[in-house]
Chains A and B, each alone.
Chain A
Amino acid sequence: MKALKAAWVLTCAFFFLQPTVFASSYQEDLVSQSQKLKLAETAAWQKLLYYSSKWFGRDMGTIDSETFYLAKDGKRKPKAELTATINAFFNPPSNYKEVDHHPICAYPARLFWLRKQLKIDQSKLPKVQCSKLKEWLSKNKYNKLSVIFSSYYPDNPASMFGHTFLRLHQPAKQNNSSAGLLDQSINFSAFPDTSNPLLYTVRGLAGSFPGKYQLMPYFMKVQEYNNAERRDLWQYELDFSVEEIEFLLLCLWEIGSHHVDYYYFDDNCSAVILTLLEAVKPHLNLKKSIKAWVIPSDTLRAIASSPGLIRSVSIEPSVLTKFLLRYQALDSHQKKLVSMIFHQKISINQLGEQASMRDTARQAKVIDTVLELIDFEDRVAGSSLGEKHAALRHQVLLVRSKLKEKPQEIPYFPETEQPHLGHPSSQLGLNLGLNGKHQQFAELNWRPALHELLALEKGYSENLEIGFFHTSIRYKPLNQSVFLNEYSLLRIWSLPTTPWIIKQPAWTVDMGSQAVRNCTYSQSVCQRYFVNAGAGYTTDYLNKSVVLYLMLAGELGHSKESNLGNYIAPALFYGLWVKPVQNLKVLIRSQLIKQYGLNQEIVDQRYRVGLNYSINDYSEVRLNLQKLQSHKDFSLGVNYYF
């Protein structure tokens, strides 16, 4: 009896002294159970760890920090990572200098998910107080989630295709339903360590900057995009429950201190945000329709094509949009007063003395327009109160504060401009045509991004063409030749039609090569390489359906034509753009150019006429006529967007 008792005590002591024995067997149970359930093969696990099969169908983790994947080969092996994760949860807390770095605290999303799948007994896990995580979660309570798209911005190559980020909405407080500026935004962006634009681009494309998530108050985004950069913010509220948003926060916590190498074209802000959404809702397959390069607006179309994922769409207008709305609501006398006050031809204090301005509501209308104008012109944002017009702004605000009038509410929702409604960004086209000598040709066009002035405007910025990598290959059956007819690395046309009071310059940049025919040697086709740029103004008529532009321009190039060689060329670009109805457009672009080569000079009158009829969002018929030197082309073709 005594011996039995002793043995019992010993056994108990044995187990008490070695609690890890229990744990390890429980651990092993969990591991084998996870293998039985094939959890590592589930979409949920693979998306939670951001595996992607883009590398020839092989799983590959997209997170590039060495510490994110716990198994040695975890970046490549979801199963090994799963086992390592389960085991890591049982690591003794004493192994960690700070308890908050224990895997239970550092990988709460995996723990949350595995606990549900394996019914893990909480009491058998090491006791760890994740105080930092708890504090963070207690401060971050949200009930809605949106994707925000900031519109195309040609002024900066890094954001000409737009940008996306997430917004976490705080629950509305009583009586104050719209303190929405205090919401948080989730932004994924590169953390460059250079300010050299060239290095920045090269390294940005090569993925040598770390990309990281950042939480930032939403008001920062409003200041940056709406005010400093004058871009509209489009908001797509997503169908995420409060629980899903909580899980998203856990995912964010997990990934927050790690990085993804930022690639300008694929692992960019938009792509990574989709992976985060998929981690929370693994049944979503947003990335399937995304190509090798990720254009932010394409991700919106991917989200929109997932049924029921978008609850609503709204817009936060930019300072430019707000000015235009207020300005358009004024009569011509009021418009004149806005201009006079802005140019300080009359003092703001004299406004009330104007015969038609006795009414304070009218004064407020004019003043509010002036204020938007100042904020637009000076890019007033943050705590900068303007540069050129700071003193005027202060005076105007002082006068405004004495008027007990609410600013006029102007409802604004440009239905047709919702960016997800635009045509997809890639274009493939086939043209058949005749050249000036009545020889036939066929032409294949490809352009990965983004939008042409001739294409359907819906969903894109008005009057802005951004062409990237446009390639056109021509086949001539006569001599069975195939050659590169045209290539454009980057082509931007910005033809803003804003009213004269804030007239923005029209400008263009184009760089690439074009086939020419008057070749020095016996070849029938040779190339002209060029870069050109121009700046000028537009005027518009008939409610913007007719636009004329004129630009002073210059071109640098190298051409094999007529022994020209390297050349420099002043030029005049001018043209006419007619849009009688939404899906029919005519664009005539003309260039009067004088090329100065080393040995000779060539004057040329080039033109390019396009007539476009958009059949639907995905296809269009186009008629082209162009002239370069003495060579003329005529073609008819179809373009398809995908």
Chain B
Amino acid sequence: MRISNIMILLSLVVSLLMIDSAAFAKKKKRKRKHKQKQSEQMTTDMSESMGSGQTYAYGMAGCGLGSLIIKQNSMMGQVTAATLNGTGAQTSGISTGTSNCRVNHSMAQLEQEVFITANFASLSKDAAQGEGQHLRAFAEVLGCTDQLGDFARVSQQNYAEIFSVTDPKAALDNYRGVIISNEALSGTCNRARI
């Protein structure tokens, strides 16, 4: 079967010369250790466990995620993932503070940042429409699950204020400000106060 692979390989080389190379989004080169030496050294840090289509940059302070740009045609379906957890021994890069994050960021803060960064565009649409699965998921991330209706209404009413900025993290601050100052929500959304 490996032989068939090699045959296909040869022919595909030719074919690939023809295919528009623009179809391949430019990738940041990522160094990878080829072999894992010992099971002793299995722990890899988050930066290594993340995909190759990595296009976001860590912000200047702490683990601000900057913005997440998901490129089309990302190779092999890889996207950048600010994964909340990896698998196997690579886990807990974030929770134990081994990645670029400093420990002063709580898990809730991180989850909120990751969510709003990865879903900023979709969330803005859902908020303006006053409904949608991104809004529901974000309600859970902020701990507003019990008052979904109010959360959706407040998001829509305050759309202009929350989304007056294009930086996801700044929008998150606005969002939390709106929730905290809202009578209906400030009591329930227990994760909005950080």
Contact = CB atoms under 8 A, between A and B. Distances in A.
A178 interface: yes
B90 interface: yes
B60 interface: no
Contact of B31 (A97, A193, A258, A394): A193
B16 A385 contact: no
Q: Which has the most chain A C-beta neighbours within 10 Å: B49, B116, B121?
A: B121
Q: Which has the most chain B C-beta neighbours within 10 Å: A150, A197, A405?
A: A197
A577 to B, nearest CB: 24
B61 interface: no
Contact of B121 (A132, A253, A263, A382): A382
A447 B79 CA distance: 32
A215 B81 CA distance: 9
Contact of B26 (A195, A509, A511): A195
A161 B191 CA distance: 42
A383 B117 contact: yes
Interface string B3-42: 0111011011111111101011011111110111011101
A197 B4 CA distance: 21
A418 to B, nearest CB: 21
Nearest to A164: B77
Interface in A507-522: 509, 511
B42 A181 contact: no
Interface string A41-81: 00000000000001000000000011100000000000000
A256 interface: yes
B95 A400 contact: no
B120 interface: yes
A156 interface: yes
Contacts of B49: 214
Contact of B70 (A150, A155, A223, A511): A223
Interface in A146-191: 150, 155-159, 163, 165, 173-176, 178-182, 186-187, 189-191
A129 to B, nearest CB: 15
A380 interface: yes
Given A106-B89, A136-B92, A179 B120 contact: no
A192 B23 contact: no
A139 B84 CA distance: 10
Interface in B33-63: 34-36, 38-40, 42-44, 49-52
Nearest to A468: B8
Interface in B114-144: 114-122, 124-125, 127-134, 136-137, 139-141
B109 to A, nearest CB: 16
A155 B9 CA distance: 20
A232 interface: no
Contacts of B76: 158-159, 189-190, 192, 204
B194 interface: no
Contacts of B168: 383
A178 B133 contact: yes
Contacts of B51: 189, 191, 214
A381 B71 CA distance: 8
A252 B13 contact: no
A638 interface: no
B121 A386 contact: yes
Contacts of A219: 115, 118-119, 134, 137
Contacts of B81: 214, 216-217, 220
Nearest to B157: A401
B22 to A, nearest CB: 10
A557 interface: no
Given A382-B69, A382-B121, A404-B130, A511 B18 contact: yes
A265 B5 contact: yes
Interface of B is mostly: helix
A371 interface: yes
Contact of B30 (A186, A193, A364, A386): A193
A385 B178 CA distance: 22
Contact of B128 (A253, A382, A397): A397
A640 interface: no
A202 interface: yes
A384 B69 contact: yes
B181 interface: no
A461 B121 CA distance: 27
Nearest to B13: A202
Q: Which has the most chain A C-beta neighbours within 10 Å: B11, B26, B76?
A: B76
Contact of A511 (B14, B28, B68, B87): B14
A469 interface: yes
Nearest to A216: B81
Q: Which has the most chain B C-beta neighbours within 10 Å: A187, A293, A401?
A: A401
Nearest to B48: A191
Nearest to A186: B87
A186 B31 CA distance: 23
B91 interface: yes
A198 B68 CA distance: 27
A620 interface: no
Interface stretch (A27-35, A205-213, A478-486, A494-502): A205-213
Contacts of A258: 36, 88
**For the complex of A and B, 8 pairs with smallest distance between CB atoms:** A256-B88, A256-B87, A401-B159, A383-B120, A205-B9, A195-B27, A257-B88, A181-B137
16 contacts: A132-B92, A139-B85, A180-B133, A182-B115, A186-B87, A189-B77, A192-B27, A195-B75, A202-B12, A202-B13, A217-B114, A228-B72, A292-B1, A382-B118, A383-B69, A385-B166
Given A225-B77, A384-B121, 6 more contacts: A155-B73, A195-B75, A205-B6, A223-B118, A265-B8, A397-B128
Interface of A: 54, 65-67, 96-98, 100-101, 106, 132, 135-136, 139-140, 150, 155-159, 163, 165, 173-176, 178-182, 186-187, 189-195, 197-198, 200-202, 204-207, 210, 213-217, 219-220, 222-225, 227-229, 252-258, 263-266, 269, 292-293, 364, 368, 371, 375, 379-386, 394, 397-398, 400-401, 404-407, 469, 489-490, 509, 511, 531, 533
Interface of B: 1-2, 4-6, 8-9, 11-19, 21, 23-24, 26-32, 34-36, 38-40, 42-44, 49-52, 67-79, 81, 83-92, 95, 114-122, 124-125, 127-134, 136-137, 139-141, 145-146, 148, 156-157, 159-160, 163, 166, 168
